[in-house]
């Protein structure tokens, strides 16, 4: 199956991040108008910072918005690799300080030890109104990595909402939303910048098994790729 969906190219990253922030805010507002609340999932990593900063300044009834990460690294929040810390620094301030954070990690010995305490709040906030994802050069998305220990479970249609994940491509254990949660979002965006990601996307768009390119799980569900060089 070839997983091609819509793609929007922007001339530069500034334009891309501003357009995406505007679009996401609009979709959250629609969700609030229709259902009283809206849920947003966003990626960590190095790409989304400017988008999250811009989003934090947008006018929206943030008190009606729940925010979660698509995946988190199992590190303390004091670590520079903590996606939760990134979220607090970039999104959960200014106007968006009124949003409710649904945590994807907690202090504990292992992902397995903390996961049961996280799942209920995640479940209660689903389905996602808007899911923004990143993608690695190895075509992983969220923390669903090629070669990961729970890859098949995370891609299964009956996967639980959250899974712990360990993978050769990930320096630490992770906790991730699973493919059915990501792909059942009302609106899905894959946020990509740079030539390396464009090349990885071209590979992911070739027909082939989702296990080799987990991002195919959302590309085949109509995810919109937003890209700037």
If the CB atoms of residues 44 and 64 are measured against ligand 6PG, the closer one turns out to be 44
Q: Which of 56, 66, 82, 83 binds ligand 6PG (CB under 6 A)?
A: 83
- Shortest CB 32 distance to ligand 6PG, Å: 25
**192 has which bridge partners?**
227
If the CB atoms of residues 66 and 82 are measured against ligand 6PG, the closer one turns out to be 82
Residue with the CB atom nearest ligand 6PG in the bound state? 134
Helix residue ranges per DSSP H, 36-98: 49-56, 83-90
If the CB atoms of residues 174 and 187 are measured against ligand 6PG, the closer one turns out to be 174
Q: Are strands 38-42 and 130-133 parallel, antiparallel or unpaired?
A: parallel
Window 96-135: contact mask with ligand 6PG (x via CB under 6 A): --------------------------------------xx
Residue 57 is classified by DSSP as T
If the CB atoms of residues 25 and 135 are measured against ligand 6PG, the closer one turns out to be 135
**130 has which bridge partners?**
40, 187
How many residues at the interface with ligand 6PG, by CB under 6 A?
15
If the CB atoms of residues 66 and 84 are measured against ligand 6PG, the closer one turns out to be 84
Residue 20 in contact with ligand 6PG, rule: CB under 6 A: no
The torsion defined by the Cα of 167, 173, 175 and 178, in degrees rounded to 10, comes to 10
If the CB atoms of residues 111 and 134 are measured against ligand 6PG, the closer one turns out to be 134
Separation CA 87–CA 94 (nearest Å): 13
Q: Which of 16, 99, 142, 148 binds ligand 6PG (CB under 6 A)?
A: 142
Tell the residue number behind the tokens 């690799």, with chain if given. 81
What are the backbone angles phi and psi of residue 113, rounded to the nearest 5°? -70, -35
Separation CA 166–CA 150 (nearest Å): 7
Q: How far apart are the first and last CA of the chain?
A: 27
- Please list every residue from 38 through 77 that binds ligand 6PG, using CB under 6 A: 43-47, 70-71, 73
The Cβ of residue 201 has, within 10 Å, a number of other Cβ atoms equal to: 20
Binding residues vs ligand 6PG (CB under 6 A): 43-47, 70-71, 73, 83, 134-136, 141-143
């Amino acid at each position: 199956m070839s997983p091609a969906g819509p793609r929007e190219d922007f001339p530069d990253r500034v334009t891309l991040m501003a357009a995406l922030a505007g679009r996401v805010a609009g979709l959250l507002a629609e969700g609030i108008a229709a259902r009283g609340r809206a849920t947003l999932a966003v990626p960590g990593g190095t790409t989304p910072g400017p988008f999250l900063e811009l989003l934090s300044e947008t006018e929206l009834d943030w008190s009606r918005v729940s925010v979660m990460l698509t995946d988190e690294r199992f590190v303390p929040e004091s670590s520079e690799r903590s996606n939760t810390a990134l979220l607090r620094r970039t999104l959960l301030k200014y106007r968006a300080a009124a949003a409710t954070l649904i945590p994807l990690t907690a202090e504990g010995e292992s992902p397995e030890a903390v996961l049961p305490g996280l799942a209920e709040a995640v479940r209660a906030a689903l389905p996602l109104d808007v899911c923004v994802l990143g993608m690695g050069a190895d075509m992983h998305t969220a923390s669903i990595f090629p070669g990961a220990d729970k890859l098949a479970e995370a891609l299964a249609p009956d996967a639980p909402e959250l899974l712990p994940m360990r993978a050769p491509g990930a320096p630490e254990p992770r906790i991730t939303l699973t493919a059915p949660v990501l792909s059942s979002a009302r609106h899905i965006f894959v946020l990509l910048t740079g030539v390396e990601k464009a090349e990885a996307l071209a590979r992911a768009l070739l027909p082939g098994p989702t296990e080799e390119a987990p991002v195919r799980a959302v590309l085949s569900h109509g995810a919109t790729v937003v890209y700037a060089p």
